[in-house]
């Protein structure tokens, strides 16, 4: 029987790589994001099914995700970088909604079926801001800290029911077009490779129950000699 994996926030280089990795494991990959046309262009056939969904809409997430899924990867994120005085209440709330509230909605949608068959994996992709904030990450760090706390609570509740919940700290920039646009000075040698991030996510999904990992910290050491 074919396994199904939902990738929420499937766009971008990391999302593309995760979809490819899951497809390589034999999953029917459901790729979800707000903009289906953009997904179609970015994923280039890496997923079996494309779903346009507003990840912060409770009704939309239920319609899209309330199905039998063997794996949920929540890779959605919103990065708002600004000093306190320049961080608007609207931006702060929007960051929390994408980084944490959407993850809550997705988990709530897929959990019943996973618990019913006592199996499944949820992987939540965090960032450096999940564990420490910077001077311009008020909104982003708050949202990613909330995501990490949510993942910990889900692991405590769902783990005994056979559902593996994991949180991945991506401690650095992921190399790709989006990073190059946002950080023009970024160098590939200082960034994480999308395929390597995807391999780590896929490894979590394949872990045996007797040795589950809750948190994985991914980082790269800058090549100072380059």
pLDDT in tens, 12-67: 899 999 999 999 999 999 999 988 888 888 887 777 899 999 999 999 999 999 88
Q: Can you give the CATH number for the domain in which 134 is found? A: 3.40.50.720
Looking at residue 174, what is its pLDDT?
93
Number of structural domains found in the chain: 1
Interacting residues of 122 by C-beta distance below 8 A, sequence separation 6+? 71, 72, 73, 74, 107, 110, 111, 114, 151, 154, 158, 163, 164, 165, 166
pTM: 0.94
Looking at residue 41, what is its pLDDT?
80
Say if 224 falls within a structural domain: no
Question: What is the tens place of the pLDDT at every residue in 107-116?
Answer: 999 999 999 9
The answer to whether residues 68 and 27 touch, using CB atoms and an 8 Å cutoff, is: no
Say if 84 falls within a structural domain: yes
The answer to whether residues 140 and 129 touch, using CB atoms and an 8 Å cutoff, is: yes
Question: Rounded to whole angstroms, how far apart are CA atoms 142 and 165?
Answer: 21
Work out the widest C-alpha separation in the chain, in whole angstroms.
Answer: 54
Could you list the residue range(s) of the whole structural domain that residue 124 is in? 3-219
Say if 226 falls within a structural domain: no
pLDDT in single tens digits along all 226 residues of the chain: 789 999 999 988 999 999 999 999 999 999 999 888 888 888 877 778 999 999 999 999 999 998 899 999 999 999 899 999 999 999 999 999 999 999 999 999 999 999 999 999 999 999 999 999 999 999 999 999 999 999 999 999 999 999 999 999 999 999 988 889 888 998 998 999 999 999 999 999 999 999 999 999 999 875 443 3
Say if 158 falls within a structural domain: yes
The answer to whether residues 117 and 64 touch, using CB atoms and an 8 Å cutoff, is: no
Say if 30 falls within a structural domain: yes
The answer to whether residues 3 and 70 touch, using CB atoms and an 8 Å cutoff, is: yes
Residue whose token pair is 């969904």 = 53
Looking at residue 222, what is its pLDDT?
56
């Amino acid at each position: 029987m074919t396994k199904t994996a939902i990738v929420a926030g499937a766009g971008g280089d990391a999302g593309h790589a995760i979809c490819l990795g899951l497809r390589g494991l034999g999953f029917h990959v459901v790729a979800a994001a707000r903009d289906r046309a953009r997904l179609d262009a970015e994923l280039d056939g890496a997923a079996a099914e494309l779903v346009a969904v507003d990840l912060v809409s409770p009704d939309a997430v239920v319609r899209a995700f309330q199905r039998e899924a063997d794996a949920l990867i929540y890779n959605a994120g919103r990065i708002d970088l600004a000093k306190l005085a320049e961080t608007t209440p609207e931006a702060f709330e929007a960051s929390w909604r994408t980084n944490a509230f959407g993850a809550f909605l997705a988990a709530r949608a897929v959990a019943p079926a996973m618990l019913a068959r006592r199996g499944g994996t949820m992987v939540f992709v965090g960032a450096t801001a999940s564990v420490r904030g910077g001077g311009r990450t008020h909104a982003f760090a708050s949202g990613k800290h909330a995501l990490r706390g949510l993942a910990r609570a889900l692991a405590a509740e769902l783990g005994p029911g056979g559902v593996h919940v994991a949180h991945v700290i991506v401690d650095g920039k992921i190399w790709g077009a989006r990073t190059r646009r946002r950080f023009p000075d970024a160098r590939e040698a200082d960034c994480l490779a999308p395929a390597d991030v995807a391999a780590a996510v896929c490894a979590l999904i394949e872990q045996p129950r007797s040795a589950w990992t809750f948190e994985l910290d991914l980082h790269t050491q800058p090549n100072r000699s380059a």
